[in-house]
Amino acid sequence: MSAWLIGLPMLVAAALVVGRLMRARRRAAIAVLLGLNAVLLGGALVVLLLALSSGPAAAEAVVAQGGSAADWAALLGAAISVAGSSIGAAIAVAYTGSAALAAMSERPEIFGRAMVIVGLAEGIAIYGLIVAIILIGRA
Give the per-residue pLDDT at 61. 60
Between CA 58 and CA 62 the distance in angstroms is: 6
pLDDT digit string, tens, across residues 54-83: 766 655 665 566 556 567 788 888 889 999
- Whether the per-residue pLDDT at 22 is higher than 80: the answer is no
Instruction: Let me know: does 132 contact 80? Beta carbons within 8 Å.
Output: no
Domain boundaries, the chain: 1-53, 66-139
* CATH code 3.30.365.10 for 66-139: no
CB neighbours of residue 20 within 10 Å: 11
Percent of the chain with pLDDT over 90: 16
Q: Whole-model pTM? A: 0.52
Instruction: Let me know: does 101 contact 51? Beta carbons within 8 Å.
Output: no
pLDDT digit string, tens, across residues 111-124: 888 889 888 888 88
